């Protein structure tokens, strides 16, 4: 009972801190909490990924990512080489084994990635490149190149957001390292790059 009360109080304190720090998009306290509690790293300006259970431990999000509702990130599949796919023989929550026995590769999501609602990222995808877009409802089975737009089941590259020259110029700025005030201040410069000026 006492543990439950302490948890409620801590949650309320965290909510107050998050509001004071500009909401989930900018809150350093929320990022610290998710890193410590869930082993999920969330970069500055990234939002929508603070959903325990939908995103597995070891996931790393860069800065300024947009994550839609219902996105699920899985880091392990049921084993197909065992005599059974049931978790009794690899998941300790089933009471037979002492530790989790399947490999869980981490997922690194780059900067400025948009993951549409209800997308599913499978363990065979371990990297999503900067500036990429994953269409809503897509099932991502392999790594996503930088600035690619992918969609479908399985997700495939539909097109690139920009020509290679513009991608190189954007990457050279490393704008995602700027805080929101600096980003707003340099908006025109970035728009000129996109226009090819």
24 and 66 in one domain? Answer: no
Whether the CB-CB separation of 139 and 153 falls below 8 Å is answered with yes
- Is there a cis peptide before residue 154, judged by omega within 30 degrees of 0? yes
| 171 membership: H or E segment, kind and range | helix 164-173
Question: What does the block give as tokens for 110?
Answer: 């780059």
71 and 44 in one domain? Answer: yes
The residue among 158, 184, 192 whose CA lies nearest residue 64 is 184
Secondary structure class of 188 (helix, strand, coil): helix
Record the pTM.
0.89
189 and 146 in one domain? Answer: no
The number of distinct structural domains making up the chain is: 3
180 and 107 in one domain? Answer: no
Secondary structure class of 71 (helix, strand, coil): coil
52 and 66 in one domain? Answer: yes
132 and 64 in one domain? Answer: yes
Catalytic residue at 78? Answer: yes
Residue 18 reports pLDDT greater than 90: no
Confidence category of residue 172, pLDDT binned at 50, 70, 90: very high
Domain that holds residue 168: 162-197
- Of residues 11, 78, 86, 111, which has the active-site annotation? 78
Lookup result for tokens 């929508």: 48
93 and 128 in one domain? Answer: yes
Confidence category of residue 150, pLDDT binned at 50, 70, 90: very high
122 and 90 in one domain? Answer: yes
47 and 33 in one domain? Answer: no
Backbone torsions φ then ψ of 191, nearest 5 degrees: -65, -35
Residues 29-51: tens digit of each pLDDT: 999 999 999 999 999 999 999 88
134 and 168 in one domain? Answer: no
């Amino acid at each position: 009972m006492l543990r439950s009360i302490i948890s409620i109080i801590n949650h309320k304190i965290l909510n107050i801190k998050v509001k004071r720090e500009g909401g989930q998009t900018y809150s350093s306290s929320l990022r610290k909490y998710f890193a410590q509690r869930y082993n999920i790293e969330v970069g500055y300006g990234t939002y929508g990924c603070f959903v325990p259970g939908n995103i597995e431990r070891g996931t790393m999000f860069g800065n300024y990512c947009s994550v839609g509702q219902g996105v699920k990130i899985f880091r392990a599949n049921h084993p197909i080489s065992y005599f059974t796919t049931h978790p009794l023989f690899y998941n300790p929550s089933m009471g037979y084994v002492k530790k989790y026995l399947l490999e869980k590769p981490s997922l690194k999501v780059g900067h400025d990635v948009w993951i549409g609602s209800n997308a599913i990222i499978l363990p065979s995808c371990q990297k999503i490149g900067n500036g990429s877009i994953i269409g809503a409802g897509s099932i991502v089975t392999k790594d996503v190149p930088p600035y690619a737009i992918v969609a479908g089941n399985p997700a495939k590259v539909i097109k690139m957001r920009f020509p290679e020259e513009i991608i190189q110029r954007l990457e050279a700025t490393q704008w995602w390292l700027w805080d929101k005030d600096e980003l707003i201040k340099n908006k025109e410069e970035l728009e000129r790059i996109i226009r090819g000026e």
